Amino acid sequence: MKNIFFILIAALFFSFPAFAQDEELKVELTKQDSLLLKPYTIDPLAPAKAAFFSGLVPGLGQIYNKRYWKAPIAWGGMGLSIYYYTWNSKQYNVYRDAYKDLLAGRPVTGELSELNGDRLIRGQRFYRRNRDLSMFITIGIYILNIVDANVDAHLKQFNVNENLTFNPAVIQSPTDNRVNMGFTLNYQF
């Protein structure tokens, strides 16, 4: 009974005409003329310009590359690290002046009046270390800003047109009839 029902459904399903063979739906495939492709120009000085602009003013290289969203990140990183450098430097000077006053025999005034010499020395070391670390972070963000502008300008010139394709493929080996998976890299001239 199940087999007869299955055969009846299959016969009914395959008896409908196929509309995919209609003349109206045929599409002619033509080879694309290489003269109609967009010309691809490379400006070899663009990465150097972007790096120069970014070195001149942080974030300007990103604006030159038309990556406008990266410029505020560069400005924020530079501004924040410079802020921490100046704040740690001021605190270091406050602790240093208080320690000098203590050594000269003058009374220490302000918030630091309750601290002894050892704690003033530890405060100096702490703020000097943080000041130096803030300077290294500032230099690192500055260099990263220049490198980002340079790399981004290089990647903007990377060829991503239709002539170069990279596709996964499943290929059957003719020698042992095993299915192999891999990638194909096609370049059309």
Is there a contact between 58 and 142 (Cβ–Cβ < 8 Å)?
Answer: yes
Of 147, 130, 145, which Cα lies nearest the Cα of 83? 130
Tell me, what's the pLDDT at 158? 77
Angle at which helix 46-56 crosses helix 117-156, to 10 degrees, equals 150
DSSP state at residue 111: G
Half-sphere exposure of 135 (CA within 13 A, CB side): 9
pLDDT tens-digit series, residues 49-104? 999 999 999 999 999 999 999 999 999 999 999 999 999 999 999 999 999 988 88
Rounded to two decimals, the pTM is 0.63
**What distances in angstroms separate CA 125 from CA 99, 116, 167, one per listed residue?**
12, 15, 58
Which residues, listed in sequence order, are joined to residue 168 by a DSSP beta bridge? Answer: 183
Report residue 171: phi and psi, to 5°. -120, 135
Instruction: Report the alpha-carbon distance of residue 113 to residue 95 in Å, rounded.
Output: 11
Nearest to residue 62, comparing CAs of 157, 158, 148, 140? 148
pLDDT tens digit at each of 189 positions of the chain = 667 766 666 655 555 555 555 555 455 555 555 555 566 677 777 889 999 999 999 999 999 999 999 999 999 999 999 999 999 999 999 999 999 988 888 888 888 888 888 899 999 999 999 999 999 999 999 999 999 999 999 988 876 666 666 677 777 878 888 887 777 666 666
